[in-house]
Amino acid sequence: MVSLEFKIDPESPDAVYTQLKDQLRSAVDDGPLSDATKLPPIRTLAAAAGVSVGTMERVVGGMIADGICFRRPRIGVYINRRVLRTKQRHLHYVTEAYRSKRNDYGIDRMKLFDLHLYHGFQIQTHAYPRHFVESAEFRYEMESLRRERPDCLLINLPGLSRSQISSLIDYPFPVLFIGDFHLGEVRMPGLNLIREDTGERGEKLVSLAYASGYRDLVLVCGIEKNYYVSLLMKGARRAAEHLGIQLRFLHYEDTPCRTEEDWLIRKSELVYRLIQNGLPEAIIFDSVDGLDYLAGVFRRYGIDVKKDVKLISNKEMIDGGIYFQPDYSLFAEQCAQIIRDLVFSGRRFPGVCTLSGSIQYKSIQINNIP
């Protein structure tokens, strides 16, 4: 008969019942309890855990209610791992609520949840403002998700701190992060990260601008010391050197603004710096929001964004500009395969996955946005 060990953490916010049920579930998911294995008697399990028979009876009863165990009268309780292979899986997606409402590819850029990609999943989305991740309410929300124990937690929150990332990695179920972090490259044991090839994005943005007829470019992107921004710049430089065109960079602080006034000031300063440095033929805004406001600031300086300079974005549409519309369908398919492998095949640690060649762009000239 299988021997099981339990460890109760007296400082854990979880009740003893929850801790024991989680550990017993882990023994089914990853440990010695294979399909049709008979559990030790309730008294033996209670003695191993150092709890009362009543508490352990409740733990096993919860496993039976979940369908993970079944009871044979007068014989005992057995593991039913087949239910883990056939039941609907619960996936929670935690993402950032973006400022822009018009054609903001950030809202749906992943296209992760086309139903045909997630057969057998029940998906719940949680969208939070940028500043919310620093609050006590966010910690409470994440703790609630931990106690709920979904089959997989998918997180697209670039503003997380290292300590927050480390805490989420330790959750007792698969946790995947989507996209890059504002703080730069993160190397942690157990980190599961799916990201696009940022260098490849830089190459494509510059190449598309060249194909649109522009030879003098400024690429507006995040701060240079950010690891992922440096990759973007390297890719953009490669394309510019290969095509023989002029390329300059203008960096801006992309951390969350506390107030609307701070946001407006930051955008106004960005336009002022662009003008002071000398306007190019075209400006590429990489993942920059608020283009309507930026265009208004240009006009206040007497610059017509339809005639004097071309505004190009991979995030928002602006009247008279060019929108590089990203197609994330292949990226979504590859993400879905990784998630299915995690949940159904027990492959818990894919590590850091850079999905090169998975995102394509279509150049669209924007005119007369209502």
Q: CA angle, 300 as apex, 295 and 306 as ends, to 5°?
A: 40
Please give the residue that has the higher pLDDT: either 302 or 345: 302
Q: Does residue 322 sit in the same domain as residue 203?
A: yes
Please, which pLDDT band fits residue 197 given cuts at 50, 70 and 90? very high
177 and 212 housed in the same domain = no
Q: Are 176 and 219 found together in one domain? A: no
Amino acid in position 76: G
Q: Are residues 99 and 190 in the same domain?
A: yes
Q: Which of 40, 55, 84 is the last residue of a domain?
A: 84
Report the pLDDT value the prediction gives residue 234, as an integer from 0 to 100.
Answer: 96
> Is the model's pLDDT at 345 over the cut of 90?
no
Taking all residues of the chain, what is their mean pLDDT, rounded to a whole number? 84
* Residues 192 and 270 both lie in one domain: no
**Which pLDDT tens digit goes with each residue over 31-55?**
667 767 788 888 988 998 899 999 9
Torsion 288-292-297-303 (CA) sign: positive
Q: Examine the pLDDT at 247 and tell me if it is beyond 90.
A: yes
Residue 94 confidence (pLDDT) above 50: yes
pLDDT at 106: 39
Q: Lowest-confidence range among 56-70, 103-117, 259-273?
A: 103-117
286 assigned to some structural domain: yes
Q: Which residues contact 66 (CB under 8 A, 6 or more apart)?
A: 83
Lowest-pLDDT range of 120-129, 215-224, 249-258: 249-258
Which of the residue ranges 73-82, 289-298, 341-350 would you say has the lowest mean pLDDT?
341-350
Same domain for 202 and 321: yes
Burial of 85 (0-12, 13-18, 19+ CB in 10 A): exposed
Sign of the alpha-carbon dihedral angle for 282, 285, 286, 292: negative
Six-digit token string for 290: 């608020």
| pLDDT tens for each residue of 204-235 | 999 999 999 999 999 999 888 888 899 999 99
Say which residues have a Cβ less than 8 Å from residue 265's Cβ, sequence separation at least 6. none
**Which range has the worst mean pLDDT, 212-221, 296-305, 317-326, 338-347?**
338-347
Q: At what angle do helices 260-276 and 291-300 cross, to 10 degrees?
A: 50
Whichever domain contains 123, its CATH number is 3.40.50.2300
Q: Which amino acid is at 239?
A: A
Tokens at 129, concatenated:
């403002």
Q: Reduced to 3 DSSP states, what percent helix, strand and coil does the chain have, rounded to the nearest 5?
A: 40, 20, 40
If asked whether residues 156 and 219 sit together in one domain, one would say no
Same domain, 319 and 338: no
Beta-carbon contacts of 354 under 8 Å, excluding residues fewer than 6 positions away, are: 195, 196, 197
Does the CA dihedral 286-291-297-301 come out positive or negative?
positive
Same domain, 98 and 192: yes
Distance of CA 35 to the CA centre of its chain: 34
Residue 54's domain spans which residues?
A: 16-84
Q: Highest mean pLDDT: which of 127-131, 133-137, 229-233?
A: 229-233
- For the beta sheet containing 121-128, the strands, ordered from the edge strand earlier in sequence to the opposite edge, are 121-128, 89-96, 152-156, 175-178, 193-196, 352-355
Lowest mean pLDDT across 29-33, 71-75, 101-105, 271-275: 101-105
| Residues in CB range of 261: below 8 A, 6 or more apart | none
pLDDT class for 337, splitting at 50, 70, 90?
Answer: confident
pLDDT at position 347, please?
58
Give me the mean pLDDT over the 148-171 stretch: 90
